[in-house]
């Protein structure tokens, strides 16, 4: 029940800043044979081009003003990096993003030039990312937001399922890609509630 309340509060927080449309019915050739319909939630229409903006924006908005004023810190190769940088800029605070040295140049430009975050480079390993992020937090006092293992991020990602249930109430199943686990965690909480 508590997780459900956290998810609903996340939905309320991000409702004014995330794109809530983006539902497409796709004919995969199975409708005629088996009576199946497939709906795709097109998260590429979010402000940063990925679902990650939902979780990052929720984390930034859920942080008390005094803590948020110190800025935010994360580690990411790209999508979460841009999402957190954009969310921090939207709230009017700074973001520090630890990115591996081999992160694509276009992702670095988005984080630094488009969204105004400070990039801290590190070796391309999870251990190096985590260590560098911890150093940045110690130096800046910024609030750390993990890309996928943060309850605020998970709640933000779960808003996808809440919208999907509103848009297509008769859903039988939800298929979710899995990377770090934040998206599936949020969607599973919403689906089980």
Beta bridge mates, 77: none
Neighbours of 72 (CB within 10 A): 27
Cross-sheet strand order for the sheet of 118-122 = 118-122, 95-100, 72-75, 143-144
* Burial of 140 per CB tally in 10 Å (0-12, 13-18, 19+): middle
Closest CA to 77 of 176, 136, 147, 181: 147
Cα(145)–Cα(136) distance, integer angstroms:
12
Annotation marks residue 77 as catalytic? yes
Please identify which of the residues 9, 37, 76, 77 carries the catalytic annotation.
77
Phi, psi of 87 (to 5 degrees): -65, -45
Asked if residue 43 lies in contact with residue 51, where contact means CB atoms within 8 angstroms, the answer is yes
Terminal C-alpha separation, the chain: 8
Please identify which of the residues 52, 107, 148, 185 carries the catalytic annotation.
52
Cα(39)–Cα(46) distance, integer angstroms:
17
Annotation marks residue 41 as catalytic? no
Residues involved in catalysis = 52, 77
């Amino acid at each position: 029940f508590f997780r459900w309340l956290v998810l609903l509060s996340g939905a309320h927080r991000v409702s004014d800043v995330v794109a809530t449309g983006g539902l497409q019915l796709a004919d995969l050739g199975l409708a005629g044979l088996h009576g199946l319909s497939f709906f795709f939630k097109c998260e590429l229409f979010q402000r940063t081009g990925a679902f990650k903006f939902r979780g990052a924006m929720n984390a930034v908005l859920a942080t008390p003003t005094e803590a948020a004023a110190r800025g935010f810190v994360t580690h990411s190769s790209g999508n979460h990096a841009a999402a957190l940088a954009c969310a921090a800029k939207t709230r009017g605070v700074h973001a520090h993003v630890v990115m591996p040295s081999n992160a694509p140049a276009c992702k670095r430009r988005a984080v630094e030039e488009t969204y105004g975050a400070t990039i801290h480079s590190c070796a391309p390993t999870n251990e190096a990312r985590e260590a560098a992020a911890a150093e940045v937090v110690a130096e800046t006092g910024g609030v750390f937001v993990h890309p996928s293992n943060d309850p605020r991020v998970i709640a933000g990602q779960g808003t996808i399922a809440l919208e999907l249930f509103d848009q297509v109430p008769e859903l039988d199943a939800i298929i979710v890609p899995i990377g770090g686990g934040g998206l599936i965690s949020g969607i599973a909480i919403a689906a089980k509630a």
